[in-house]
Chains A and B, each alone.
Chain A
Amino acid sequence: MSIRRALRVPVLLASFGLCGRAVADEPSSFALTTDTPAYCAQLVRQVADRHSQSLDVQRLLAEGREMCEDGQVRGGIRRLRRALVLLHHRAVRDEPPP
């Protein structure tokens, strides 16, 4: 562990003391928005809009959508992301050479 990291806690504690008001409004943790059903729906749209003929992509899209609808949001998002990675690789591969 670097010295900088080791010093981080006391430095932060000191900064809390110096800037108590600003930090008082700060939540102790921050929520991520990429694990929500809304984000899952957004990914479904992104994959579906590409109209890929790839069976793998279609399978991952179907599985992802179904899992998100069933409440298994993280699993669904992971599949949809894999579909997007596949699409990205195919797009790079099919790109004409410069």
Chain B
Amino acid sequence: MIRSASLRFATLFGLVFALSALALVAFLWFSTANLLDRQVEAAINADAQGLVERWSEGGVPALLLTIQERLGENVDDDAIYEVTDSLQRWVAGNLNQWPVKVETPGVFYELQVVRAGTRSLADVRRYDLPGGFHLLVGRDVRGRVELRRLLTNALFSSLLVIAALGAAGAFVIRNVFRRMVAEVSATAEAIAGGDLTPRVRRSGRGDEFDRMAESINTMLERIAKLMDGVRQVSNAIAHDLRTPITRARARLEDASLHARTEGELRAGVERAVSDLDNVTAVFHALMRIAEIEVGARRSAFAEIDLGPLLADLAELYSAVAEEHGGLSLRLEVPDTLAILGDRDLLQQAVANLLDNAIKFSPDRGHITLAAARVDRQVRLSVADQGAGIPEADRPRATERFFRGEAARSTPGSGLGLALVQAVALLHEGSLLLEDAHPGLRATLVIPAMSPVQQMNSDSSAPHPEDTATLPSDLRR
């Protein structure tokens, strides 16, 4: 087994090239040789047919005269005739004796003949005539033999040229392959060494190699982005969890050092447990987002009617909103709005948006939960009249643990919008954050169900998984 892929490709190319050329040469040789054979056979048949006609018109004398004339006018000097009687005695012709092997009429035989001291080949055929006469008609094929020899020589010469061309082509292919692989290999080695910045160079020709380079570079960009994300999340986890853990530790220490009664000690421990519960919730939210991003839940997609789902949520949250500074929640949703998706995740995403809206709305403010089908999309929005998100912060608002200036004074971990974004992406949609003048409008854009999908969907599909939502203080 050859251990060099470029050499294998080059060898394969050379073999395919050589086989193709051999097949072509063989085809040319056989078709040309066949054509020459057929021409000779056609000439003999036509000649014999004429002679038989003369025989039927005038008998033996006419036949002999015709043979004599044809031999006399045979300028090419290639005709062979022989006529014998029933006792195999010579009657006419230019062959010194009847070849014994020419015994079956209608079959072509190859004879060696001597013409003016020179040996050559002839094709002959036997015809039996009435009265016991036998007619032999043939053609000298020395021209054909010579042509075939020249053709064979030419083809062998061309084979040498073909072999040289094949070798040159294989060499070129090997070099091109090695150059391309070397480029990819060098980039991969640099990345394996820890430097994620190198990219595969493109030739600019837009060919398969360029497309492959583009794919590899896109993959590397994605890996680099993911690595950045991992780094950011690690830093954020370290930073954001330090505070509640430190606080829990301080509460426990304080309780153990200063608690004078069992009740004070228990209260201190409970506060510490509460702080640690928040830490657990953050981890739970992170794992939930990761699970959504992996896309495993896509298999649980089913037809969902957003109308009743959003109405239920509005009913649930209108009470919460009322309690929270007398906020009012308005619902602008059609009765039915079908999409293909995960009911629990969508419910959780809308709950996160409503929680954020309630949390950041001023007292007596209005919150609007709206959904509508626009072209082939469903646009589901939650708008509040709060401080909103500054335009500069919006691109980063969906990153894990991101918290804008306005949100720092409110409880939360900065994972709520990250989860909504993950849900949107899982549904092949997006999350838009816009200014609601005043306030923020968060819009989930999800592909609507096509009529065909609606016909094929099974609305009775089960909805597995838990329906847990994030604690309200972990959002935005």
Contacts and interface: CB of A to CB of B under 8 A. Distances in A.
Interface in A6-31: 8, 12, 15, 22-23, 25-31
B114 interface: yes
B101 interface: yes
A15 B101 contact: yes
B100 A26 contact: yes
Interface in B25-73: 30, 33-34, 37, 69, 71-73
B113 interface: yes
A30 B119 CA distance: 9
A12 B101 contact: yes
Contact of B30 (A1, A12, A29, A31): A1
Given A26-B100, A81-B74, A32 B34 contact: no
B75 interface: yes
Nearest to A27: B97
A32 B114 contact: yes
A2 B31 CA distance: 9
18 contacts: A1-B34, A1-B37, A2-B34, A5-B37, A5-B108, A29-B112, A30-B97, A30-B113, A31-B95, A32-B80, A32-B96, A32-B114, A33-B93, A35-B77, A35-B115, A35-B116, A39-B94, A88-B73
Interface of A: 1-2, 4-5, 8, 12, 15, 22-23, 25-35, 39, 43, 46, 73-74, 77-78, 80-82, 84-85, 88
Contacts of A85: 73, 75
B73 A84 contact: yes
Contacts of A39: 94
A43 B72 contact: yes
Given A23-B101, A32-B115, A34-B71, 9 more contacts: A29-B112, A29-B113, A30-B112, A31-B96, A80-B72, A81-B77, A82-B75, A84-B72, A85-B73
Contacts of B73: 81, 84-85, 88
B115 A81 contact: no
B178 to A, nearest CB: 44
Interface string B82-122: 00000000000111110111000000111111111001000
Nearest to B111: A30
Contact of A74 (B69, B74, B116, B119): B116
Interface size class, chain B: 20 to 34
Contacts of B71: 34
Nearest to A28: B112
A31 B96 CA distance: 6
A46 B72 contact: yes
A32 B78 CA distance: 10
B100 A23 contact: yes
Given A2-B37, A31-B114, A81-B75, A26 B95 contact: no
A6 to B, nearest CB: 10
Contacts of A4: 108
The 10 closest A-B pairs by CB, nearest first: A29-B112, A34-B94, A35-B116, A31-B96, A84-B72, A1-B33, A81-B75, A85-B73, A33-B94, A31-B114
Contact of B77 (A5, A28, A78): A78
Contacts of A88: 69, 73
Contacts of A23: 100-101
B75 A78 contact: yes
B80 to A, nearest CB: 7
Contacts of A26: 99-101
B77 A29 contact: no
A74 B80 CA distance: 16
B97 A81 contact: no
A57 B115 CA distance: 26
A30 B96 contact: yes
Nearest to B31: A1
Contacts of B108: 4-5
A94 to B, nearest CB: 17
B94 A32 contact: yes
A44 to B, nearest CB: 11
Contact of A81 (B34, B72, B80, B112): B72
B253 to A, nearest CB: 104
Contacts of A46: 72
Contacts of A30: 95-97, 99, 111-114
B183 to A, nearest CB: 52
